[in-house]
Amino acid sequence: MNALKKICESPAVLTLIHYRVVVILVVAVILSASLVPGLTEFRTLSLSLDRAATLGLVAVGLTVVLLLGKLDLSVGSILALSGIAAIGLQPQLGQLGAAAFGVCVGLLAGVLNGVLVVLMQINSLVATLASMIFLRAMCHFVTESNPISGADPLFGLAVSRSLGGTFSLRTFIFLIAIVLLFLWLTYTVAGRHVYAVGSNEDAATASGVRSGRYIFGAFVFSGLMAGTAGVMQSLATNTGSPVFGSTVTLTAIAAVVIGGTRLEGGRGSALGTLGGVLVLAAITTALEYESVPSYYQNIVTGSILLLLILLDRIASNSPRSALSLSSLLPVRSKEQSPAR
Amino acid sequence: MEGITKAFPGVKALTDVDLTARAGEVHAIVGENGAGKSTLMKILAGVHTPDEGTITLDGEQVRFGSPLEAKQNGIGMVYQEINLVPDLSVAENIGLGNMPASGGMIRRKALHDRAREVLEELHTRIPPQELVGRLSVSQQQLVEIAKIYARQPRIVVLDEPTSSLSHHEAEALFAVVERMRNSGIAIIYISHRLREVLEISDRVTVLRDGRMIDCRSAQGLTPKEMISLMVGRDLDDVFPKQAVEIGEPVLEVRGLTRLGVFEDVSLTVRAGEIVGLAGLVGAGRTEVARAIFGLDRLDAGQILVGGEEIRVRSPRSAVRAGIAYVPEDRKRDGVALSLTVKDNIALPVLHRVSTLGWVLRRPERELAQQKAEDLHISPPVVDRPAATFSGGNQQKVVLAKWLATNPKVLILDEPTRGVDVGAKADIHTIIGELAAQGVAVLMISSELPEVLAVSDRVYVLHEGRLTAELSRDDADEESVMTAATGEGAAA
């Protein structure tokens, strides 16, 4: 027991735990590279990134919501509805117009969530659960539960085709979004306020931060990102389907949490989310190549999630009791969460 | 407890500490924050296991692996924070975890009878069927004690039980403690309020830096002696008071009313002046402060800063007008625990250390570092999360945050609650210095000696109305208490 304790508390191990996302990512990439021949080739890499971009865009939006200690369950429904709008309205609005409208649908759905959570003071889980159900029903309503397709399948190719032999458009959008989010969260006053509101909303408000506005804005942003992801997904497949995105919400939340953002808010980062998305992308690519059924992927995802949460407890800076890996070994003491 | 030693990564929390609690005695433990009181109690409660040392209970050596084991062995803990379920009744809370039931169904009558019995034994008048959430803080505290008492413990530990109680309510608590002692329970009593310790305890153990300094009979001990044992040096004056020239009115409040909470409150605070706002808990002191700061809505009244009327709709507008508020509930409204000290201090002034929305890291850090040093935040490491600091230092972080805004008006709500003697003196010194710089200070405190020692003038609230305004010379415990209990003629 003592030897184990010593190992757990050694600086090397603690450093590894600190960079756990990177470690897991490296392991995942090495594993999948050994399973999938040619994964390290740029073309394959670019393709698997393109597939992860949809998840990634949704995760970018969710990162801000989760940092604020809120939850948005409606992103999957928003994704589907935006996609349907972008395809279904092509005859009326033209291809670009419909795409833009699809993005606006996401934005408006985000505004709806913002109104429910901030103005009507409904718990974000409940509010977005309601809008998730409602928006999903709208998807089925406007499509009469059938997938719809656009007239011109070539238009959407631009989204997923690699640009000049590099990444696809949506990969670029995802990566740019990550970088911008990183800069915004890390270096701007507004970003700092997000962390403060997430860590302690009351204290932030009492310090003159307009907490409500940040939370409202986060839901709008999350809707916008989900809408963008949905539009691109639909354009890439030339299909708007009422069942699109039915699993993306929880996977995206998993990616964000794997990336080190905690559900209670106040801690996390954009780069962590990038890591989380890439881990899931690497696993998906590898396991699909091996024709492993998708539920096995979910087992892996679930296990990684749990492992990282446990590691997070060790790395978390909560005082005293939770400081070391050894604190996980004996019976854990009743801990009082700082945010009540 | 004998030779207890406990180390955490990087810190040795306790070194060879002995403690003996006898049945039917009140044994007080005093010491500065970080002296090891809480750690020692957590070991007794089975939350932590000691690295060395033994615990002997009624002559039998015991080792508690978990809080449950300690509980089963008759150790009852009453923590500073209230651990009750607000949506359950008093009786249900008392019975929680130990419900009288047959076949999975709760026997309501037995539950209520037992609760009533326990509450009566402790001579409290709390109806067992009332929801805990509807009780006052002090009543909840008594329910908490009743809950422990119902399990017939051998040892009861009370950790800062009076920190949120007014003088009056504390007296009621002491009566309950007295009764428990007389029924043969050993009581361990932790408090920063030294007079209270002397009033209630039989013996006093002093801890300093994780070591046991002394264990004495409370008889004949004075607060001054205790303080010098706790800090290891003599403090000449617990409340140093500087003479400051008092200037023009800075904060003027006229006819402030919030229906059902307080009514027609008018007060003035001048530059360089420290004004105390006294009253019993529930008199509306905090509510007045929150309303001035824009945290609560006002129904009527004017607020003037520097002679100009300001409209306070939110804390944001109050901050802009130069008002700072150090809240009563540090953990709720004061610090963001998962953020670093630097981020906490810089929060209200980020606009000052940024251009076009971008935070300039060097000025930000320098500002935070400077404030941390000014206020003797220890350790002065601004990159650590606020959660890793002691209560006194967290309070200094909140102060630092507001000092960074260069306020004209500083409202302090219980600034030294739950803070150790050293940090308390630091905080008083800082308040004094601020006043000397011309800041208008309005201070709320439940500790009457503190109010009297620090303030130039004292307003007294009773049930939402001002009942007295006393100059420093006229204010003494008696005159303030008279006004606070509504006994005197209205001022």
Residue B38 has pLDDT above 90, yes or no: no
Chain A nearest C-alpha distance from B488 (Å): 36
Q: What is the pLDDT of residue A316?
A: 59
Task: Find the helix or strand (DSSP H, E) in which A167 lies.
Answer: none
Identify the H or E element spanning B162.
none
Structure confidence at residue B35 as a pLDDT band (50, 70, 90)? confident
Nearest CA in chain A to B313: A208
Q: How far apart, in whole angstroms, are the C-alpha atoms of residue A195 and residue A320?
A: 23
Report, as an integer, the average pLDDT of B28-39. Answer: 78
Chain A residues closer than 8 Å to B339 by CB: 195-196, 199-200, 266
Token digits of residue A189 = 């006053």
Cβ pairs A/B, distance under 8 A? 112
DSSP state of B431: H
What percent of chain B clears pLDDT 70, i.e. is strictly above it?
A: 93
Euclidean distance between CA atoms B235 and B231, whole angstroms: 8
pLDDT of residue B233: 54
The pLDDT confidence band at residue A328, using thresholds 50, 70 and 90, is: very low
Which pLDDT value is given to residue A239? 92
Residue from B339, B361, B401, B410 whose CB has the most chain A CBs within 10 Å, to mutate: B339
> Is pLDDT at A17 greater than 50 in this prediction?
yes
Task: Please report the pLDDT score of residue A340 as a whole number.
Answer: 31
User: What are the chain A neighbours of B65 within 8 Å (beta carbons)?
Assistant: 330-331
Of A43 and B369, the structure prediction assigns the larger pLDDT to B369
Q: What pLDDT was estimated at residue B235?
A: 47
Residue ranges of domains in chain A, CATH in brackets:
56-315 (1.10.3470)
- What is the predicted pLDDT for the residue at B47? 85
Mean pLDDT in residue range A16-45: 80
What pLDDT does A335 receive? 35
In this predicted structure, which of A59-68, A182-191, A212-221, B35-44 has the lowest mean pLDDT?
Answer: B35-44
Give the pLDDT score at A325. 40
Instruction: Give the residue with greater pLDDT, A147 vs B84.
Output: A147
Give the CA distances from residue B437 to residues A105, A309, B43, B242, B469, in Å, rounded to whole numbers and listed in that order: 56, 49, 46, 12, 24
The phi and psi torsions of A194 (rounded to 5 degrees) equal: -60, -45
Residue A95 corresponds to which tokens in the numbers above? 């291809």
Residue A1 contacts B where some CB pair is shorter than 8 Å: no
Least confident of A134-148, B195-209, B237-251: B237-251
Structure tokens at B435: 């006043």
Chain B residues contacting A via beta carbons under 8 Å: 8-9, 42, 47-49, 65-67, 81, 293, 295, 314-316, 318-320, 325, 327, 331-339, 343, 346-348, 350-351, 354, 357-359, 361, 384-385, 387-388, 401
Strands B409-413 and B440-444: parallel
What are the tens digits of pLDDT across the range A68-110?
999 999 999 999 999 999 999 999 998 899 999 999 999 999 9
Minimal-distance CA residue of chain A relative to B291: A206
- Beta carbons within 10 angstroms of residue A293's beta carbon: 10
**Mean pLDDT of all residues in B195-210:** 86
Which residue of A lies nearest to B51 if distances are taken between CA atoms?
A2
Q: Does residue A322 have a pLDDT over 80?
A: no
Higher pLDDT, B323 or B3: B323
C-alpha–C-alpha distance, residues B213 and B93, integer Å: 38
Distance from CA of A334 to the nearest CA of B (A): 8
If you measure CA to CA, which chain B residue comes closest to A184?
A: B358
- CATH number for the region B249-484 comes to 3.40.50.300
Task: Please judge whether A193 and B350 are an interchain contact, meaning their C-beta atoms are less than 8 angstroms apart.
Answer: yes
pLDDT at B236: 46
What's the complex ipTM?
0.77
- Which of A187, A208, A331 shows the shortest C-beta gap to B65? A331
What percent of chain B has a predicted confidence (pLDDT) above 90?
21
Beta strands in B398-464 (DSSP E): 409-413, 440-444, 457-462
Name the helix (H) or strand (E) containing B306: none
Q: What digits encode the pLDDT tens for the residues B327-377?
A: 888 888 888 888 999 999 999 988 888 888 888 889 899 999 999 988 888
A182 within 8 A of A194, measured Cβ to Cβ: no
The answer to whether residue B60 scores a pLDDT higher than 90 is: no
Amino acid at A225: M
What's the pLDDT at A63?
97
Average pLDDT over residues B280-291: 85
Mean pLDDT of chain A: 85
Instruction: State the amino acid at position B167 in one-letter form.
Output: H
Where does the pLDDT of residue A151 fall: very low under 50, low under 70, confident under 90, or very high at 90 and above? confident
Residues 6+ apart with CB under 8 A from A198: A67, A68, A69, A264, A265, A266, A267
With a pLDDT cut of 70, the percent of chain A lying above it is 89
Per-residue pLDDT, B293: 93
Task: Classify domain B2-231 at the CATH topology level.
Answer: Rossmann fold (3.40.50)
| Predicted confidence (pLDDT) at residue B3 exceeds the cutoff of 70 | no
Q: For residues B444-465, b (16+ Cβ closer than 10 Å) or e, as one string?
A: bbbbbebbbbbbbbbbbbbbbb
CB contact under 8 A, B385 and A195: no
Chain region(s) in chain B for CATH 3.40.50.300: 2-231, 249-484
Convert the pLDDT of each residue in B436-480 to its tens digit: 989 999 999 877 778 888 899 999 988 888 988 998 888 877 788
Higher pLDDT, B255 or A290: B255
Dihedral sign computed on CA atoms, order B458, B463, B466, B468 = negative
Looking at residue B246, what is its pLDDT? 85
Check whether A155 has a pLDDT greater than 90. Answer: no
pLDDT at B222 over 90: no
- Within 10 Å of residue B416's Cβ, how many Cβ atoms? 23
- The answer to whether B384 contacts A339, with C-beta atoms less than 8 Å apart, is no
pLDDT, tens only, A184-232? 999 999 999 999 999 999 899 888 899 999 999 999 999 999 999 999 9
Provide the pLDDT confidence category of residue A326 given band limits of 50, 70 and 90.
very low
Residue B34, pLDDT > 90, answer no
Does the structure show a pLDDT above 90 at A173?
yes
Q: How confident is the model at residue A4 (pLDDT cuts 50, 70, 90)?
A: low
Query: Across all residues in chain B, what is the average pLDDT?
Result: 84
pLDDT tens digits for range B84-131: 888 888 988 888 877 777 777 888 888 888 888 888 888 788 888 888
The closest CB to that of B354, out of A189, A207, A333, belongs to: A189
Two tokens, residue B280: 């019993």
Task: Using alpha carbons only, give the angle A78, A81, A83 rounded to the nearest 5 degrees.
Answer: 105
Helices (H), B45-89: 67-72
